A and B are shown apart, each in its own frame.
Chain A
Amino acid sequence: MKELLSIKDLVTEIPLRDTVVYPVDHVSFSVNEGEAFGIVGESGSGKSMTCRSILRLLQPPAHVTHGEIVYDGKRISDYTENEFAAVRGKGISMVFQDPMTSLNPVLRIGEQIFEAFDASLTKQQRQEQAVELLKQVGISSAEERLKEYPHQFSGGMRQRAMIAITLARNPRLLLADEPTTALDVTIQDQILTLLKKLQRERNMGVVFVSHDLGVVARFCERMAVMYAGQIVEMSSVEEIFSNPQHPYTIGLMNSMPSLQKVSEWLVPISGMPPDLRALPQGCRFAPRCPWASSECEKAPIAISETAPGHFSRCLKAAEMKKLVSDAKNERHE
């Protein structure tokens, strides 16, 4: 399988009045052609900022200060703004979370799709292709729908229209930033099925950002877990769920209620996500970690490969299985 996107040591900083914070702190990962890569994390973990950094959609004063982004064998992080315009949309495209705020309310849906097409197309071709796109994303009576405004669309329909716009230039990589968070479960289910189908048909690479482990488990092949700007664990989806090697991942899985009620009480992660302005010196998760020792608090922890293709940023990754089963036994006693 061919590598489509590779990111090495990406750093994004936001200068504040008296300090600097790093919402993306030395993030590295890669996505293959036709592969879905998930990024899971809570708000403020840097998952959306990572996507925006890749596509250069950061809002100043946030900016990328370090790192290499290679797309399709080309170092796009060195591109000038003009050169980059050719990558955006045609090479890499993005679906945003909230379909209400990412569509222009005063333009017809049709016009917003036409905008995305190559300028060389004739009006006739645009019309035909737009109708075809809307059909592909499952919008019926497409001709009439093109003449409507976003407010006439339901939430699910708007997200379908958004997807149609992002697909207008046949991108090879799609960044999907919480594309289903604002939607109802049955509609979320429809959109996920649709995205999966389109991804397969077009052999697209997808970076799928979500806070919902269940959604990522369903959609992705490989995934990364982010915490306070860093990737803390990365592996294939099956591996992470069957053999998690970072306490934060384990905490997330435990705190998620499931349809099969296992116990009366959930096991939440204690404390709160850290303030990026005052990060702990050592492991960023140490203050909330049930297994933290003094060693964890001394110096920053490097991410290391604990098994082939499985990376964890934890000193105790090797003994994690035992720690988890001990904790489980304790809870049951």
Chain B
Amino acid sequence: MSPNEEPLLRVESLSKNFVKSQNWMDALVGKKPKMLHALNQVSLTIPAGQTVGLVGESGSGKSTLARCLIRLYRPDEGRILYRGVDIAQLPEKQLQEYRCKMQMVFQDPYSSLNPRLTIGGMIEEVIQVHNIRPANERKDYTASLLQRVGLPPDAMKRKPVALSGGQRQRAVIARALAVNPEFLIADEPVSALDVSIQAQIINLLHELQQDLNLTMLFISHDLRVVRHISSKIVVMYLGKVLEVGNANDLYLEPLHPYTKALLQAVPTLENVKSVKEAALQGETPDAYEVPVGCCFQNRCPNVMPICSQIEPKMIEHSPDHFTACHLFSS
């Protein structure tokens, strides 16, 4: 991407907090409810026509970010610029137009399909609601979508129970494609699937991305999967972005200690038989009390005194490779 080209999506200091439900006693005595900081000043850009991989452990805010981007959640602060238009606080009516441009594939194909509708029925519903095709063309269009994602034609009349996990995920993808989206968010799309089926779905998504020139945000906790499909990678931890870089740079020369640890922790066929110390001690703290300074300080092997005082700023360490860590801020 040339620097002056406008990215499809630009996120600027996006924050989202959730209020923890209080028990009635605390409410009665007027205690302030606890806040969970799911997203904390997240900024990133998603260039058009590329796949951006988003990695992080559970609780890092990956899914919250995805849901904010397509406005299933309304963010508390910050801007989401979709082709230059801020959609962060748009009212529901005006969002309709963007709903067709942005679609999402969820993790669990077992719970994201209506068990009482046939596959054809639920795709046609989408086509009807968004008025994509006139009534007499809907059937053919649905059939073409199913073919596109590699489902047999008779899947149209079947209900989700009659499909395997991989087939269901294909149906979910077909439904997302029905509105001709520009931007597809895939939130852990293969986590619930078996290894051999995973590869089929990853290939399918990759193929669709190239053929339809989709922009894709691919979310996964599995660094191997993300590596395979993405050109740019974003690493999140505790609601913050810690490192952003091109896939090659980030995997070959990770900067942030957290990224290094994540990569080390992945069991691969290459590093067979290495009984070593665990890459990272401790666990992700909960996001109710985010520490002052760096959010990774209590697990970081390279922690310094400054880490508990000042929050590291995102700096460009080498071209297009950003990290937020005091080790690199001179």
Enumerate chain A interface residues (CB-CB to B < 8 A).
42-43, 154-157, 184-190, 192-194, 196, 211-215, 217-218, 237-238, 241, 251-261, 264-270, 272-273
Contact B224 A258 (CB under 8 A): yes
Interface membership of chain B positions 214-251, coded 1 if the CB is closer than 8 angstroms to chain A and 0 otherwise: 00000001111101100000000000000000010001
- State in angstroms the CA–CA spacing of A213 and B247 once bound together: 23
Contact A251 B272 (CB under 8 A): no
- State in angstroms the CA–CA spacing of A273 and B278 once bound together: 34
Closest-CB distance, A233 to chain B (whole angstroms):
15
Contact A265 B206 (CB under 8 A): yes
26 interchain pairs, CB-CB under 8 A: A42-B194, A185-B221, A186-B261, A186-B262, A186-B278, A189-B264, A189-B265, A189-B278, A193-B275, A213-B269, A217-B267, A218-B274, A238-B272, A252-B196, A256-B269, A257-B199, A257-B228, A258-B270, A259-B268, A261-B251, A264-B206, A267-B199, A268-B198, A269-B196, A272-B197, A273-B194
Contact A156 B283 (CB under 8 A): yes
Partner of B195, one of A42, A154, A238, A265: A42
Contact A255 B279 (CB under 8 A): no
Given contacts A156-B283, A273-B194, contact A256 B277 (CB under 8 A): no
Which residues of the other chain, A, contact B267 by a CB distance below 8 angstroms? 188-189, 192, 212, 214-215, 217-218
Interface membership of chain B positions 254-271, coded 1 if the CB is closer than 8 angstroms to chain A and 0 otherwise: 000000011111111111
Given contacts A42-B194, A43-B194, A255-B198, contact A190 B269 (CB under 8 A): no
B109: Cβ under 8 A from any A Cβ: no
B203: Cβ under 8 A from any A Cβ: yes
Given contacts A184-B58, A188-B265, A268-B200, contact A261 B227 (CB under 8 A): yes
Which residues of the other chain, A, contact B265 by a CB distance below 8 angstroms? 185-186, 188-189
- State in angstroms the CA–CA spacing of A155 and B221 once bound together: 15
Contact A266 B57 (CB under 8 A): no
Closest-CB distance, A113 to chain B (whole angstroms):
21
Closest 10 CB pairs of A and B: A255-B199, A268-B199, A214-B267, A189-B265, A184-B57, A269-B196, A266-B199, A42-B194, A257-B228, A190-B278
Please report the total number of B residues contacting A with Cβ < 8 Å. Answer: 47
What is the total of A-B residue contacts with beta carbons within 8 Å? Answer: 138
Partner of B247, one of A156, A193, A261, A267: A261
Contact A257 B271 (CB under 8 A): no
Most chain A CB inside 10 Å of its own CB: which residue of B57, B262, B267, B281: B267
Closest-CB distance, A86 to chain B (whole angstroms):
33
Closest-CB distance, B284 to chain A (whole angstroms):
8
Contact B227 A257 (CB under 8 A): yes
Residue of B nearest to A242 (CB): B272
Residue of A nearest to B279 (CB): A189
Contact A257 B225 (CB under 8 A): yes
Residue of A nearest to B252 (CB): A260
Contact A269 B199 (CB under 8 A): yes
- State in angstroms the CA–CA spacing of A189 and B268 once bound together: 12
- State in angstroms the CA–CA spacing of A267 and B224 once bound together: 14
B160: Cβ under 8 A from any A Cβ: no
Interface membership of chain B positions 59-102, coded 1 if the CB is closer than 8 angstroms to chain A and 0 otherwise: 00000000000000000000000000000000000000000000
Contact B57 A186 (CB under 8 A): yes
Contact A259 B223 (CB under 8 A): yes
Contact B281 A255 (CB under 8 A): no
Which residues of the other chain, B, contact A252 by a CB distance below 8 angstroms? 195-196
Given contacts A186-B278, A237-B272, A256-B269, contact A266 B195 (CB under 8 A): no
- State in angstroms the CA–CA spacing of A270 and B197 once bound together: 8
Which residues of the other chain, A, contact B195 by a CB distance below 8 angstroms? 42, 211-213, 252, 255-256
Contact A256 B224 (CB under 8 A): yes
Contact A42 B196 (CB under 8 A): yes
Which residues of the other chain, B, contact A189 by a CB distance below 8 angstroms? 264-265, 267, 278-280
Closest-CB distance, B20 to chain A (whole angstroms):
15
Which residues of the other chain, A, contact B272 by a CB distance below 8 angstroms? 217-218, 237-238, 241
Which residues of the other chain, B, contact A218 by a CB distance below 8 angstroms? 267, 271-274
Given contacts A253-B269, A268-B196, contact A185 B262 (CB under 8 A): yes
Contact A186 B224 (CB under 8 A): no
Closest-CB distance, A100 to chain B (whole angstroms):
13
Interface membership of chain B positions 130-166, coded 1 if the CB is closer than 8 angstroms to chain A and 0 otherwise: 0000000000000000000000000000000000101
- State in angstroms the CA–CA spacing of A83 and B297 once bound together: 53
Residue of B nearest to A197 (CB): B275
